[in-house]
A and B are shown apart, each in its own frame.
Chain A
Amino acid sequence: MPARTLVISFGNAFDKAFLVEETDNGFRIIKTLELLSCGSRDAAVFFFKKLFSSQFEQTLNSSLSENQGSASVNEQVLIINDEEAALSAALKNLSASGEVLLLSIGAKKSLLGIGSFGRVELRSEVLGLGQGITKLLAARESLFIGRWMKESARFLDTENYLANKSIYPGVLPVDPLSLEMEQGAATEIVRFLKERFWPVSRSIPKRIILSGAVFAKSPKVYQSLMIFLNGFEPLGFCHILLDQKNALSAFGELLLSFDKRNFQIEDNLTSLGDLISLTHRKKISEELGELTLDLGLAQKQKIILKSRDLINIPFDNEQSGSLGMTLKKGVSFDGPISEINLYGGLLGLVVDARGRPLPCPQMDSESRVMVKKWHQDLGG
């Protein structure tokens, strides 16, 4: 592999370029650039080469640190021709040590992938937040999208805003309402994927990877977790990782092109935190049990769990910890209830005691209060 490679991915909303450097263990992304989809590969390569030139350094250097060096147009260009093959290679790498679930939401297509000790299965659907939104709008009433929003919006406005994204998939949500519309639509996409591809009886892997612009560009990381939590309704314990650089397919393509067996993609993902989800049908505020958290401090922390609560305990991934639970009758947990190892992350530990199946909000004012509380509980 040459010292540096420019990996270009052609998306339906954005074309992305990653300037990658070879390291002892694998690869390191030096710079990332994203442009509205140029319509043709030649055009994208032309624009990226132009932007990676000195002019780019002058105008956009504010977001890049000084010591990262500049790219020249003579770097080797590696083009991702088959996005799914690249993602499959990335998932194979990620699942080398155990089972992992990948959820990726794109502009046109969304994907659910399962990797288990190097064996990979990918399922995709033409459904997304760009060209793929019309299928979602046709399949789901706008009230299904609106129910996940803190503020109420007119159905007509939600539909028209999202439908316009099928013409202009790169448009950014400039205000909180449009951001919520997109995140509500993403929640419904996750629910759609789960209904379509996930067998009811199957246990959820211990590691979950969230990929795609709607996750990566969420202004607050808890919003990415909320999309997954409300959409997938996971059970038991799982550790959430975020593809914040949106570089999963770039790493996959590099692995397909160069032999780097020691490279761990997981080191390049952002750890969001650990998630504990309880199953019950208890009434609001009813006691569910007790959670004992051991973070290596002098005293163990004890937390009383109440029905419908969403609890967030900050706990970064530099620390190690474990937890145990005592659950009341009628409350269950998918997995062992003691000695659960915690990994932590940007959010730390999140305990979802809202119950399963999730009490889905409606389009009334009470539900708006409930959704607002969920967001507040996670730091919104």
Chain B
Amino acid sequence: MLSYLHRSFIKKPNAKICRLFNGSPKVSVGQRVLPHEIVGINYRRLGFRIFHLDQILSAPPDAAGTFLQKPIGSNVCKNEILAQRSSFWGLKKVVFRSPIDGVIKMMNEENGELVMEYPLQLITVPSGVEGKVVEVLPDRGVMIESSALIVKARLGLGLRREGILKVMQNREIPLTSPEINEDFAGKIVLAASSVGREALYKLITVKAKGLITGGIDWKVFNEIKSARGGIEDVGLTVLVLGGFGNLPIPQEHFSFLEKFDGRLVIASGIWKKLILPNPQKLELDNPLGRELLGSVSFPVVEPLKGFRVRLLSFGRFGVYGTIAESLGKVKVLESQIESLTIPVKLENGEMLDVPFENLEIID
């Protein structure tokens, strides 16, 4: 008989990590890069401001442009004189100083509006990983070959996002909104416990980039999931490692992920995976410090004595244990359903006969 199989970590010694910047690349194919090296740049437009110059200068709309002290297209600094009008034979002077750093974009002579654009912001994209550039995607990004570990999540939503991993320690109590502040902006938050509705919305508000959690309630997940599944985006990528419900991340997984605190990670909700670039050699070879199953490619496997398992039954969902015997036996469950079961020794020492279908082998 078969049970579910979950591969906690997938080793990718030659992972291709895409760094997108939608601008000009600063590296070439074959070049080796370090995490801090800039691989591409881009300029981001920050928007416009409109000033009613005719009203400010008390001038007719079609004449307001004649009082500009700088030509259209000029760069101006904050407090620099933009326009000036003298009246009463030079006795009264109205001066308009620029409230922002920016560029004079246009002067509308029909309504007297002056349009100023904020200066373009330079965005530099670091490599984030150590590796070799294998492809340059014109005007889009670069592909870097590097080693990586991939953590498979059970649930996910949101776009692919990258950020610095911020680890929240408490496994016992769900992450609450008062714990979340502006420091979380741009971070991918690893919450050892489950996460409630308020905390999730607070993370979106403070502009955190991602959340990795053990469990989440169906209702909360469904609220932030759009009608088109995980394809549409709420501005936060969510990865759930355990399933629906109040489930902390298992200690052994958490202890491993903790090592990546402060390092760049990439989370993809659509693909339900967390990419951990550049693990140490030992981390890559044997992340959980125990013997793994090898190259099984099916989502199911025959359970054997000694396999580490997670229970999927109601009331025990997410409980961990070890298979005590390889041979199964037919048993009538409490629900009166007859099923082939296998004995499992739980972490608290309790022995339990569990149907094969209600087990997930953790590799």
Spell out A's residues near B (CB within 8 Å): 35-40, 43, 47, 59-60, 62-63, 134, 137-138, 156-157, 159-164, 167-168, 170-179, 181, 217, 219-220
Contacts and interface: CB of A to CB of B under 8 A. Distances in A.
A161 B314 CA distance: 6
B312 interface: yes
Contacts of B201: none
Given A159-B217, A174-B313, A47 B2 contact: yes
Residue with the highest number of chain B CB atoms closer than 10 Å, among A137, A159, A174, A178: A174
Given A159-B217, A160-B244, A167-B154, A174 B300 contact: no
Interface string B22-43: 0000000000000000000000
Contact of B1 (A35, A138, A219): A35
B231 to A, nearest CB: 15
B219 to A, nearest CB: 6
A2 to B, nearest CB: 28
Contact of B314 (A163, A167, A178): A178
Interface string B333-363: 1111111100000000000001111101000
6 contacts: A39-B300, A43-B300, A137-B222, A157-B314, A170-B357, A172-B358
Given A38-B298, A168-B312, A159 B218 contact: yes
A35 to B, nearest CB: 5
Nearest to B314: A178
Contacts of A60: 340
B244 A174 contact: no
B218 A175 contact: no
Interface in B280-339: 298-300, 312-315, 317, 327-328, 330, 333-339
Interface of B: 1-4, 154-155, 217-219, 221-222, 243-245, 298-300, 312-315, 317, 327-328, 330, 333-340, 354-358, 360
Contact of B335 (A38, A43, A161, A174): A174
A36 B357 contact: yes
A39 B298 contact: yes
Contacts of A38: 2, 298-300
Contacts, number: 115
A164 B221 CA distance: 12
A171 B217 contact: no
A202 B313 CA distance: 41
Contacts of B244: 159-160, 163-164, 167
A171 B222 contact: no
A171 B357 contact: yes
Residue with the highest number of chain B CB atoms closer than 10 Å, among A138, A170, A219: A170
Given A167-B243, A171-B312, A172-B357, A37 B300 contact: yes
Contacts of B360: 168
A137 to B, nearest CB: 6
Given A36-B2, A163-B218, A176 B298 contact: no
Contacts of A47: 2
Given A37-B300, A172-B357, 4 more contacts: A162-B218, A168-B312, A176-B336, A178-B315
Contacts of B4: 36, 168, 170
A172 B330 contact: no
A160 B217 contact: yes
B148 to A, nearest CB: 24
A261 to B, nearest CB: 37
B334 A174 contact: yes
Contacts of B1: 35
Contacts of B300: 35-39, 43
Contact of B339 (A138, A157, A172, A220): A172
Nearest to B318: A164
B335 A173 contact: yes
Nearest to B155: A167
A156 B312 contact: no
B3 A172 contact: no
A16 B355 CA distance: 17
Contacts of A179: 335-337
A156 B335 contact: no
Nearest to B337: A219
Nearest to B334: A175
Nearest to A153: B314
B3 A175 contact: no
The 4 closest A-B pairs by CB, nearest first: A219-B336, A178-B314, A163-B218, A179-B335
A205 B356 CA distance: 39
Contact of B355 (A43, A137, A161, A174): A174
B337 A172 contact: yes
